[in-house]
């Protein structure tokens, strides 16, 4: 019978890099959330730094939900991070035991203990990941029990800290919201005003605390399907086991003082502290998200189901490589030299056999994503080169085909590919249904009229795409070919022509 991962098991395995004094490090971080992203990114970085003797601090975690946290107690907060994937073109398969978490406290059952933990002199950092809806203003009395919202809990903790005459925190939300630090600060201040808290305290919130916007990027699938096999290979059981890809990025908006407080960034150059994180946010939007959006409908309609399958298909692999390195990358060179490295990492991530990223999931709100992620790239590319980006244009045509409704079922529009019907989840689908309804036959003149009408529809795009010379005509050529010959046959012909 395999032993359970816990402190005693770690002490019996000194080769794991966890020295006995690691467990004596003081609690320095209060973390809202037990989710896999925080454990696979933030906790990974803290643990890596502790093992190098840099940060020497541990994390006390607040669990807001009432779910069972027993595994954290029985395993002394320890868990395995299994890093699997491709980095610099090489396969990575690495097991790490993470000891950064000191304890997990339930917010409803152990609120007083959380307030006590937050007033430790050594604790000066707060990190959160409460999903995008977590940073919302909820009118509540923070003195009437445990606050329901995350901003309410944070405000109560700040008030407790201030009432004891203590210094403030560096507060870093990782929720996937633009300017999440700014949003959280404004929400907390608004709630403080609603609670009619002292003006001196409200002033202290702004003066003594740093709310830092941040951007996180790492795919952490969580528990693997073959967990029992992993246990056998590792030699112990671990109910908190998580898988993670090799790539990571944590960009934090801050200055030298923030960097000094977050000293664990020294352990990994992929944790970045900079005056502005806008370049990192845009490179992710354009290169990673933009290439997904450009390619997804081509891959899905041709019968593929995951990003990894696309990278095993000769044409789709070439599609991704071309769209990333030749079409998108030149349009973001102004963001800095790191974009070229990021682009290479993106292609490695797409080729990770350990991640099952379904194409149909990526098509969620496809038209809005195309507008936000790729229209600006189209404009920049044409302005710089005077020509059209070939793969992006082909991907746009496939998007129009994907958004062609073939009917409705249970109130949802559905499209059709060779393998059967699929649900279209797009807030603009009724607009596309209106345009497609007017197509009498799939000849070039009719398809051209359809494409030009869609390109100028202000409900869909921030600009009239007909103003990009040749764009609508090229899209119409592609779409006509797909309609008349089928997307697979058309792609085969297209591949031979380039």
Nearest CA-CA partner of 97 in 59, 60, 52, 48 = 48
- The CA-CA-CA angle for residues 184, 99, 67, to 5°, reads 60
Mean pLDDT in residue range 20-48: 96
Ordered strands of the 27-32 beta sheet: 101-106, 58-63, 27-32, 125-128, 170-173, 210-211
Percentage of residues of the chain with pLDDT beyond 70: 98
Average pLDDT for 453-465: 97
Between CA 367 and CA 301 the distance in angstroms is 16
Instruction: Tell me the pLDDT tens digit for each residue of 203-259.
Output: 999 999 999 999 999 999 989 989 999 999 999 999 999 999 999 999 999 999 999
pLDDT score, position 495: 63
pLDDT confidence bin for 98, thresholds 50/70/90 = very high
Q: What is the pLDDT of residue 476?
A: 97
Q: What is the pLDDT of residues 333-380, one digit of tens each?
A: 999 999 999 999 999 999 999 898 999 999 999 999 999 999 999 999
pLDDT (0 to 100) of residue 325:
97
CA atoms of 385 and 369, how far apart (whole Å): 24
pLDDT digits (tens, 9 = 90+) for 20-33: 899 999 999 999 99
Q: Is the pLDDT of residue 497 over 80?
A: no
What pLDDT is recorded for position 69? 72
Q: What is the pLDDT of residues 368-416, one digit of tens each?
A: 999 999 999 999 999 999 999 999 999 999 999 999 999 898 889 999 9
Q: What is the DSSP letter of 237?
A: B
Token digits of residue 38: 């925080």
The CATH number of domain 7-274, selected from 3.90.1150.10, 3.40.50.620, 3.40.50.970, 3.40.50.720: 3.40.50.720
CB 137 within 8 A of CB 45: no
Element (H, E) at 101: strand 101-106
For residue 469 the two structure tokens come to 């010379």
pTM equals: 0.92
**pLDDT value at position 66?**
65
Domain-wise residue ranges, the chain: 7-274, 278-497
Domains 7-274 and 278-497 alike in fold: no
Contact 219, 245 (CB under 8 A): yes
- pLDDT of 132 > 70? The answer is no
Reply yes or no on domain 278-497 having CATH 3.40.50.720: no
Asked if pLDDT for residue 496 goes beyond 70, the answer is no
pLDDT at 139 over 70: yes
The model's confidence at residue 70, banded by pLDDT at 50, 70 and 90, is confident
Res. 89: pLDDT tops 90: no
Beta carbons of 177 and 131 less than 8 angstroms apart = no
Q: Tell me: pLDDT of 88 over 70.
A: yes
Q: Where are the alpha helices (DSSP H) in 109-221?
A: 111-118, 150-163, 180-194, 199-208
Q: Give the tens place of pLDDT for each residue, 257-309.
A: 999 999 999 999 999 999 999 999 999 999 999 999 999 999 999 999 999 99
Pairing of strands 242-244, 27-32: unpaired
446-457 average pLDDT score = 97
């Amino acid at each position: 019978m395999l032993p359970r991962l816990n402190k005693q098991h770690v002490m019996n395995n000194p080769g794991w890099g966890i020295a006995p004094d690691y467990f004596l490090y003081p609690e320095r971080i209060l973390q809202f959330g037990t989710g896999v992203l925080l454990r696979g990114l933030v906790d990974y970085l803290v643990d890596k730094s502790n093992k190098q003797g840099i940060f020497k601090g541990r994390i006390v975690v607040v669990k807001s939900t009432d779910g069972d946290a027993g595994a954290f107690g029985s395993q002394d907060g320890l868990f395995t991070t299994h890093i699997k994937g491709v980095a610099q073109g090489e396969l990575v398969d690495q097991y790490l035991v993470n000891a950064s978490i000191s304890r997990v406290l339930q917010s409803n059952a152990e609120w007083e203990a959380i307030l006590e933990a937050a007033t430790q002199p050594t604790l000066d950092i707060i990190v959160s990941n409460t999903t995008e809806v977590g940073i919302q203003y909820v009118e509540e009395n923070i003195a009437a029990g445990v606050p329901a919202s995350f901003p309410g809990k944070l405000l109560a903790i700040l008030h407790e800290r201030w009432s004891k005459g203590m210094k403030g925190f560096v507060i870093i939300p990782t929720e996937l919201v633009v300017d999440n630090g700014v949003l959280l600060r404004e929400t907390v201040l608004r709630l403080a005003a609603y609670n009619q808290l002292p003006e001196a305290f409200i002033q202290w919130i702004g003066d003594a605390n740093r709310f830092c916007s941040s951007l996180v990027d790492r795919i952490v699938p969580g528990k693997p399907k073959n967990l029992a096999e992993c246990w056998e290979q590792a030699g112990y059981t671990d109910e908190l086991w998580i898988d993670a890809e090799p790539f990571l990025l944590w960009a934090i908006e801050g200055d030298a003082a923030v960097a000094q407080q977050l000293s664990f960034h020294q352990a990994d150059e992929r944790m970045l502290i900079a005056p502005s994180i806008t370049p990192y946010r845009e490179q992710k939007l354009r290169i990673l998200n933009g290439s997904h959006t450009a390619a997804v409908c081509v891959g899905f309609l041709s019968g593929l189901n995951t990003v990894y399958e696309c990278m095993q298909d000769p044409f789709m692999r070439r599609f991704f490589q071309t769209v990333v390195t030749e079409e998108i990358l030149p349009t973001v060179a102004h963001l800095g030299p790191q974009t070229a490295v990021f682009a290479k990492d993106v292609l490695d991530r797409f080729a990770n056999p350990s991640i099952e990223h379904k194409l149909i999931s990526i098509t969620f709100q496809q038209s809005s994503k195309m507008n936000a992620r790729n229209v600006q790239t189209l404009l920049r590319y044409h302005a710089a080169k005077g020509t059209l980006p070939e793969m992006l244009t082909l991907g746009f045509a496939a998007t129009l085909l994907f958004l062609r409704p073939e009917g409705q079922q249970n109130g949802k529009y559905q499209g059709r590919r060779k393998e059967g019907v699929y649900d279209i989840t797009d807030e603009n689908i009724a607009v596309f249904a209106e345009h497609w309804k007017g197509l009498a036959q799939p000849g070039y003149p009719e398809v051209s009229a359809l494409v030009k009408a869609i390109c100028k529809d202000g409900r869909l795009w921030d600009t009239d795409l007909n103003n990009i010379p040749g764009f609508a005509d090229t899209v119409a050529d592609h779409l006509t070919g797909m309609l008349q010959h089928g997307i697979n046959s058309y792609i085969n012909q297209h591949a031979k022509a380039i």
